[in-house]
Amino acid sequence: KPADTILTASPYLAVHGLTRRYGAFTALDGVSLALRHGEFVCLLGPSGCGKTTLLRQIAGLDLPDDGRITLQDRDITRLPPAKRDYGIVFQSYALFPNLTVADNIAYGLTPRRERARHRERVRELLDMVGLPGSEDKYPSQLSGGQQQRVALARALATSPGLLLLDEPLSALDARVRDKLRDELKRLQKKLGVTTLMVTHDQAEALAIADRVVVMNNGRIEQVGTPAEIYRRPASRFVAEFVGEANWLPARRADAYSVTVGAHTLKLAGVPAGEACTLFVRPEDILVKPRWEAAPNTLLARIADVSFAGAMTRLQLLPEGMPGVMLIAEVCPSMLNRQPLVPGEIVPIELPAELLVAYPEERA
Ligand code: ATP
């Protein structure tokens, strides 16, 4: 169990050893996780890894076979959903088609407040989600993005302490999705509502979350800030799920260097054991304008060049590293040199601070 899954400071919401089985299949396998007050946390992982199952346990829509859920240290594992103080938004907007926008939003308010005060609250919520004046419309008159804004307003109507989001942006087209993502992030910070969002989209999770929980096979692989997850993935699974990765088989030379073929590379730390695997992101490989003898600098033959908009992708065959092929992403305008062409030999640097070495069995 990763050490960082439990926070020592009293969390807002925590799950402790949560397990859910469906027959012989374990959908959630002893998951422990803690959310700080006001934090935006994303559950990220491939289809079927247990994200929705975890969210449903927290919402009380399904009960665990084992483990506990606490809200501000109070055990809520068996508390009915209506008593848990959360708002929820699903991928399908799930609005009542026969009710107006105002009535959809006010639905959860009844019978807690009087009707006259609902009007004002609904207006406030519609302003908040960027749909002022839409009270009398019906869901069928709204676009997908607008319906999801209404669903969000409905989830926030009672000012819940916790906002649960299950792939709320997945059904929207790319442009609308990115806009709503940014607005959701801004709104969440403004309201300070502790938020847990399920997504399978790594770019979305990295962009929106304060912390990302990467799940695989009903377990947590890693919990960390987007930068930690991306830069220092805890496993090969995490590294590949959140971005593109190069892997190089290496041998340990000492605590701060390894050998790959004929080269010695420096890095911040090398695990014990004779063999290890180096990890480097494509955009971290530097193609240099001219040769200079410097640490971690070597020559590589360009095997292929492909234009990728803002970046150019290169397949590189480093000299003195038989069997290694690296993918690099470079920004040609930054290089201030002639176009890169296949067959050319270029100096490259694998920056010591960006290389990570994994023990062979973990990678
Ligand atoms: P997706 O992004 O596809 O929704 P997920 O990570 O949210 O994936 P879950 O919905 O949590 O995945 O499902 C985890 C696993 O549990 C899946 O393999 C699913 O088939 C299984 N599962 C979920 N609900 C049930 C159920 N009611 N009965 C049997 N198996 C279930």
Distance 346 CA to ligand 1 centre (A): 48
Mutate which of 49, 166, 199, 215 for ligand 1 pocket (most atoms within 8 A of beta carbon): 49
Contact 40, 212 (CB under 8 A): no
Question: What kind of architecture, by CATH, is found in domain 3-241?
Answer: 3-Layer(aba) Sandwich (3.40)
DSSP 288-341: PSS----TTEEEEEEEEEEEETTEEEEEEEETT-TT--EEEEE-HHHH-SSPP-
Domain with CATH 3.40.50.300 in the chain: 3-241
**Residue 190 phi, psi (nearest 5):** -65, -45
Give 4's DSSP letter. G
Please give the distance, rounded to the nearest whole angstrom, from the Cα atom of residue 56 to the centre of ligand 1.
Answer: 11
- Residue 4 has a pLDDT of 46
Residues in the chain: 363
Q: Which CATH class is domain 246-359?
A: mainly beta
**How far, in Å, are 51, 52, 152, 169 from residue 92 at the CA level?**
17, 14, 12, 9
CB neighbour list of residue 323: distance below 8 Å, 6 or more residues apart: none
User: What DSSP assignment string belongs to 97-132?
Assistant: TTS-HHHHHHTTTTTTS-HHHHHHHHHHHHHHTT-T
Rounded distance between C-alpha atoms, residue 247 and residue 258, angstroms:
14
**CA–centroid distance, residue 200 to ligand 1 (Å):** 13
Q: Is the pLDDT of residue 56 over 70?
A: yes
Probe ligand 1: pick from 19, 26, 42, 52, max atoms within 8 Å of CB? 52
Q: pLDDT (tens digit, 9 = 90+) per residue, 259-276?
A: 999 999 999 999 999 999
Q: Whose CA is nearest to atom 25 of ligand 1?
A: 22
Asked whether residue 3 carries a pLDDT value surpassing 50, the answer given is no
- In tens, the pLDDT along 299-313 reads 999 999 998 888 899
pLDDT of residue 340: 86
Mean per-residue pLDDT for 229-254?
93
pLDDT tens per residue, range 87-128: 999 988 789 999 999 999 998 786 655 667 788 899 999 999
Q: Is the CB of 256 under 6 A from ligand 1?
A: no
pLDDT in tens, 197-227: 999 999 999 999 999 999 999 999 999 999 9
Q: What is the structure's pLDDT at 107?
A: 86
Structure tokens at 114: 């009087």
Residue 43 CA, closest ligand 1 atom number: 6
pLDDT of residue 337: 65
Residue nearest to atom 28 of ligand 1 (CA): 22
> Interface pTM (ipTM) of the complex?
0.93
CA 247 to centroid of chain Cα atoms: 22
CATH 2.40.50.140 intervals, the chain: 246-359
